[in-house]
Structure 1
Amino acid sequence: MIQQPTLDFLSELVENNNRDWFMANKGRYEAARENVVALTDELLKLMHKIDPALSPDLEGKKCVMRIYRDIRFSKDKTPYKTNFGISLPTTGTKLGGAEYYLHIQPGKLFIAGGYWMPEATHLKAIRQEIDYNAHDLKAIIDEPEFVKLFGDFRDGEKLKTVPRDYAPDNENIELLKLKSFIVLHNLTDKEIKSPKAAETIAELCSKIYPLNVFLRNAIA
């Protein structure tokens, strides 16, 4: 579970996003990160039973993303992220491809999964898989509990025009226009602080698992 001091640190970082404050509170950051890593390790134990594609080499400390922002090409020059991001990739130990993602930020917590903004070759392969086997994808995303947890999959970020090689009257054109193939479920601070937080997150990931399988098969 995530402890209140971890959330307190992130909340205060929003108002003090500068190097002097961060360095003065480096011990708090390190304790918060250790808390997040511990939750991730607990979650991984459950996730290996849900998704066999998760690498046995994954460790919590490798899955927790850096808090330092890359500000080289950003107008926002604040040096630190105000959240902890945890990525569980399903294609080895590197980011990219179908994955599970946990976002820890006070009042803005969520669990997500799928494939965000696939590279061109993967995007083409996923669209082809949808065109050939849309019934398989729709069986996943139109299942009532899936819709209740994650909303309408078709509402994701889309092209404004019809993708190349597909006709406007294709019955699955709204799925084919998608640029990302992700789902998201918001969590409460209470849920993430519960002793059963890892179990709650793993259960949600189990509902995302069939979508990730579909996406992995498409790019295999």
Structure 2
Amino acid sequence: MTVAFSGFGQKALPFLKALNFHQRREWFVENRDLFESELRDPFGDLVETLSERFAVVGLGLRGDRKKSLFRINRDVRFAKDKRPYNRHLSAILSPDGTKMEQGVLFVYIGLERCFAAVAWWQPGPALLLAMRQAIGTRPGEFRALIKALKQNRLELDPEGCMKRTPRGFEHVTDIDLVAAIRNRHFVVRHEIDPAGIHSAALADELVDFTMRAKPLLDWGRAIEGKVPVNQAPDR
């Protein structure tokens, strides 16, 4: 049975601050109970609460405390920075409940910032190409998406945008469409006030954000359902 989300513990961010300072396995093991009670377990409650509420409104996003949360441990095998622990904890709710799908809600609770994002992040070559083609050939639909997001107080994040137009789209000249086609991701973000993570109202805030971002989910899903195979864009 799902435990209703009641907020992260008051020591959630102080724990991350202390972990950032210590960065030793011995310290983490000694304080694991604090990590679980203040941060990990409430995050699991949040994911499962959101999953239930998304099912009611038909958002097509779900998750659970076992599959959705990312590990606090860093993968340092190929990193110059060998610190073993992240300064944040994060989770994904997706169409199938795994971390492998596109069109997701990503929630990040970190030492520097807390935020949520609805994202088509690093879509595969065929899907990215199809999205770019949809922008170029059906600009009215894309502009309707941008208008809907703007009405919902959201806009696409330009992070990771290419500096030049990918091959095959040189014929597109409208400035707004060129900028969109250069995107490697299609993402809208919502900043979370760190002071608000301790309240059950955070779940309401994230449901509201995801509902406002639904036009982006719908746009991407309509394209994803017709993705051609064996096509790779210039990334």
User: TM over 0.5, yes or no?
Assistant: yes
Residue from 101, 106, 118 that aligns with 2:106: 101
Structure 1 residue 154, shift from structure 2 partner? 6.2
Residue from 191, 194, 202 that aligns with 1:197: 202
1:139 aligns with 2:132: no
Aligned to 1:50: 57
Counterpart Cα distance in 2 of 1:84 and 1:51: 27
Counterpart Cα distance in 2 of 1:8 and 1:185: 22
Aligned to 2:233: none
Counterpart Cα distance in 1 of 2:21 and 2:120: 32
Aligned to 1:38: 45
Of the structure 1 ranges 128-137 and 76-85, higher mean CA displacement relative to structure 2 is found in 128-137
Structure 1 residue 155, shift from structure 2 partner? 2.8
**How high is the TM-score relative to the length of structure 1?**
0.89
Aligned to 1:160: 163
Counterpart Cα distance in 2 of 1:204 and 1:104: 16
Question: Residues 91 and 41 of structure 1: is their aligned pair in 2 closer, same or farther, counting only changes over 3 Å?
Answer: closer
SS at match of 2:82: coil
SS at match of 1:136: helix
SS at match of 2:11: helix
1:89 aligns with 2:89: no
- Checking the alignment, whether the CA contact within 8 Å between 1:65 and 1:85 is kept in structure 2 is yes
- Checking the alignment, whether the CA contact within 8 Å between 2:87 and 2:111 is kept in structure 1 is no
Corresponding pairs, count: 215
Counterpart Cα distance in 2 of 1:60 and 1:145: 33
Aligned to 2:79: 74
Counterpart Cα distance in 2 of 1:211 and 1:174: 17
Structure with the bigger percentage of helix: 1
> Could you say what the CA RMSD is over the residues aligned between the two structures, in angstroms?
1.9
- Checking the alignment, whether the CA contact within 8 Å between 1:111 and 1:187 is kept in structure 2 is yes
- Checking the alignment, whether the CA contact within 8 Å between 1:87 and 1:102 is kept in structure 2 is yes
Aligned to 1:217: 222
Structure 1 residue 211, shift from structure 2 partner? 0.1
Aligned to 2:24: 18
What runs of 5+ residues in structure 2 fail to find an aligned partner?
1-6, 226-235
| Identity score, percent | 26
- Checking the alignment, whether the CA contact within 8 Å between 2:160 and 2:185 is kept in structure 1 is yes
Structure 1 residue 52, shift from structure 2 partner? 4.1
Structure 1 residue 87, shift from structure 2 partner? 0.3
After the TM superposition, which parts of structure 1 deviate over 6 Å for at least 4 consecutive aligned residues?
Answer: none
What runs of 5+ residues in structure 1 fail to find an aligned partner?
none
